[in-house]
Amino acid sequence: MEKSIIILLCIFSAVSTTQAYLLGGTTNVYSHDCLPPACKGCGYFNYASPIATVNDFLITCNRAQLSTFPTVNSINISQNSVKIDLSSNYFTNIPGNVFHQVHLQSQAKVTMKLDFNSISGIDGNAFNGISMQITSLDLSYNRLDNIPSAIGTLNNLRSLYLKENPLSHVDNSVTTGFSHSLTYFNFDFDYLPSWPNSFKNLSALEYLEINDIANELIDASIFDGFANSLKELSLLYDVRDNGPNFLTIPPAVTHLQNLQTLTIGGEVYCTCNLSYLKNWQVPSFIKAAGKSFLPCNDSNILVDDYIHTVGQQCH
């Protein structure tokens, strides 16, 4: 039997054109006359695919070469899993109330991709209407110099991606809204003058990726607030920036009692300078970025094996 297709198109404002976007399914075809020509559209999958799973609802306008952020007109979404992809455009800011006519189920979970734009500002009301449902927000590869107050309104946010943004300051109160929900966080440290006090509010944090932080700035105090919850820590450098590599394992990591994976973006010289790790309960995995293990720079032994064996003989 020949398969028919379900397409449900949502409405972005300001443009009138007919565009049907095939998203997959098994019944009838619907189209509307109000989509920007470059946008792929909105609809839902009812089978698994590389970019969506069963019953994901998609709002997709990535790689559309847009410079003005589109407003989503009135739409009712019954699916509990919603993915909004506006990545890889030329947006410089996100205005207020662009999503306020998106009507979701209270239990819906929204994954939003805004990475690879040029966003430097976000209106405080940008996420009105769906703020309680956004659980994952990707703003990596943008131009934010702070964490906008709009992100502080996302009380159920679990994952926040901010790497490759020139963060230079963080307001003390901005993390309060998601302090008990955020479990995943990545960001670049190189423009920050010191460790932001507001990060100590992140009491549920389990995975932390810090890019471009000097080794000497990593002391135990930076983990205050989430030292007991953190399970994975990545300390990375971008080789394009010629940043200094780690030559040792920061002593502060020994205070992370529940750490399971430590990723070091550099090289570790295994000498008795690591003697402070003798009594450390080594995590299950110590690895290099992009690898499943971390060898000592000056020998063939793995770092975790060195700590358990040769390192025990150090005084």
What pLDDT, in 10s, does the model give residues 113-125?
A: 999 999 999 999 9
Gyration radius (Cα) of the chain, Å? 23
Pick the most confident of 186-195, 207-216, 244-253, 268-277: 186-195
- pLDDT over 50 at 62, yes or no: yes
Q: Does 303 or 121 have the greater pLDDT score?
A: 121
- pLDDT over 70 at 6, yes or no: no
pLDDT of residue 7: 30
Predicted TM-score of the model (pTM):
0.85
- pLDDT over 50 at 85, yes or no: yes
Q: How confident is the model at residue 238 (pLDDT cuts 50, 70, 90)?
A: low
Mean pLDDT computed over every residue of the chain: 82
Give the mean model confidence (pLDDT) for residues 235-244: 63
Give the mean model confidence (pLDDT) for residues 242-265: 82
- pLDDT over 70 at 42, yes or no: no
Q: How confident is the model at residue 2 (pLDDT cuts 50, 70, 90)?
A: very low
- pLDDT over 60 at 146, yes or no: yes
